[in-house]
A = this chain, B = another copy of it.
């Protein structure tokens, strides 16, 4: 198949105007022009079922969100140095969905900005700078938080890597830790290492459902042991819910609730405004007060009336359309059907997930669990040519990553699984 002329032109312009190494998805990148609900269209009129994009959380071009943005953009858009209802109503509603201790917030434009603040809050309240994360995570792109990415290690960053230590990412398939005690022990070791080095221990930052780590299959409450270790050491637990929040896991609005802990700090981003740039940090009032005492943080666009209108519309849409329950039901159905596919297709080594974050690990051999990375890549590309968008992840890039907009239906799930069934049947293990 050859690339459409227009796509080739756009690829050339990208290299010239945006520089090298600006990644695209797929061997032949998609040129998208329209989105609606769980559907996307490319420039040639091909229609795709979006099983991947989590930013359009309540659906591409969700009418309620679009209407909220248009209405507020046409009325007033200014900053938080003036009084406005929007930010207060939103923070009240947002913090109302979580533990009473998490009662204050700073709104930002991105999850990166939120995590950058969260680490400084931890520094502020503990007086230490040692941060711990997993070795397969991603927490954003500022100088500080970009150093938390082991898969995309920046060569620039003002030496900030000295403050970070890493633990093995949990892996329920290859290296089970059913009650989370081993994970807690590895964190305890790194806490000791931070203390021994003189840096001291400030915080553990994790996605409570470990989405970048391949959403390992853990029972509810699995984070309790590690939270205890962190608190005992005088550090903070930061839950990065940029991906896992807003009901993604189906059973709880926030994944930390599912995993049995109340974080000291929680950060938000991507789905928060359905694509409108808004992020946030939610924490206890004493942590926020200590941070703000040391630094009068201000963000020009953060918490502006349009961003708050978009974010409020997302929360309302989740409620009104019962998208949490939908994620649970549809996710459960899809995983059952994926499990049935595993009976037919030997390459499916493991099926896991919760709600509308789920997938399957592809292996060349179920006993050795050797990753079928090349096959996974071909499956993803073949699905794309059949109108199904999804992606892969994991240390070996051999896990299907399925994370559709939340209005994903049983019918959508069936189309995904049926197409995957066909593609697996016709894709040989080796080229």
Query: In the assembled complex, which residues on chain B have CB atoms less than 8 Å from the CB atom of A55?
Result: 78-79, 300-301
Complex formed: what's the CA distance from A292 to B155 in Å? 10
Complex formed: what's the CA distance from A257 to B86 in Å? 39
Contacting B at CB under 8 A, from A139-190, are: 141-144, 146, 152, 154-160, 163
**Is A425 an interface position by the 8 A CB rule?**
no
Q: Apart from A20-B289, A66-B74, A276-B301, what are 14 other A-B pairs with CB-CB below 8 Å?
A: A13-B92, A19-B104, A21-B293, A22-B292, A30-B83, A35-B78, A55-B79, A61-B77, A66-B70, A70-B70, A113-B142, A120-B158, A129-B158, A277-B307
**Is A250 an interface position by the 8 A CB rule?**
no
Indicate which residue in B35, B78, B87 contacts A76 across the interface (CB closer than 8 Å). B35
Establish whether residues B141 and A298, one from each chain, have CB atoms under 8 Å apart when the complex forms.
yes
Q: Which residue of B lies closest to A269 (CB)?
A: B300
Establish whether residues A77 and B56, one from each chain, have CB atoms under 8 Å apart when the complex forms.
yes
- Copy number in the complex reads 2
Query: In the assembled complex, which residues on chain B have CB atoms less than 8 Å from the CB atom of A297?
Result: 141, 146
Indicate which residue in B18, B70, B76, B83 contacts A24 across the interface (CB closer than 8 Å). B83
- Known A-B contacts A156-B120, A300-B110; the reply to A34 vs B293 at CB < 8 A is no
Which 5 pairs between the two chains have the least Cβ-Cβ distance? A155-B294, A154-B295, A19-B288, A77-B275, A277-B301
Indicate which residue in B35, B141, B291, B298 contacts A77 across the interface (CB closer than 8 Å). B35
Establish whether residues B60 and A157, one from each chain, have CB atoms under 8 Å apart when the complex forms.
no
- Known A-B contacts A19-B104, A110-B300; the reply to A34 vs B76 at CB < 8 A is yes
**Is A51 an interface position by the 8 A CB rule?**
no
Establish whether residues B156 and A76, one from each chain, have CB atoms under 8 Å apart when the complex forms.
no
Residues 77-89 of chain A, each 1 if its beta carbon lies under 8 Å from chain B, else 0: 1111111110110
Establish whether residues A154 and B70, one from each chain, have CB atoms under 8 Å apart when the complex forms.
no
Establish whether residues A34 and B109, one from each chain, have CB atoms under 8 Å apart when the complex forms.
no
Establish whether residues B33 and A156, one from each chain, have CB atoms under 8 Å apart when the complex forms.
no
Measured CB to CB, the residues of A under 8 A from B are: 7, 10-11, 13-14, 16-25, 29-35, 40, 53, 55-56, 60-61, 65-66, 69-70, 73-85, 87-88, 91-92, 95, 103-106, 109-113, 116, 119-121, 123-124, 129, 141-144, 146, 152, 154-160, 163, 269-270, 274-278, 285, 288-289, 291-301, 303-304, 306-307
Q: Which residue of B lies closest to A124 (CB)?
A: B156
Q: Which residue of B lies closest to A154 (CB)?
A: B295
Query: In the assembled complex, which residues on chain B have CB atoms less than 8 Å from the CB atom of A304?
Result: 275, 277
Indicate which residue in B32, B74, B277, B289 contacts A19 across the interface (CB closer than 8 Å). B289
- Known A-B contacts A56-B78, A81-B23; the reply to A119 vs B95 at CB < 8 A is no
Query: In the assembled complex, which residues on chain B have CB atoms less than 8 Å from the CB atom of A303?
Result: 18
Shortest Cβ gap from A413 to chain B (Å): 22
Indicate which residue in B18, B78, B141 contacts A104 across the interface (CB closer than 8 Å). B18
Establish whether residues B76 and A32, one from each chain, have CB atoms under 8 Å apart when the complex forms.
yes
Shortest Cβ gap from A318 to chain B (Å): 18
Establish whether residues B76 and A61, one from each chain, have CB atoms under 8 Å apart when the complex forms.
yes
Query: In the assembled complex, which residues on chain B have CB atoms less than 8 Å from the CB atom of A23?
Result: 81, 296, 298
17 A-B residue contacts at CB 8 Å?
Answer: A16-B104, A18-B87, A18-B106, A19-B289, A23-B81, A25-B82, A29-B83, A30-B83, A40-B76, A56-B78, A60-B78, A77-B274, A77-B276, A116-B142, A123-B157, A129-B159, A152-B296
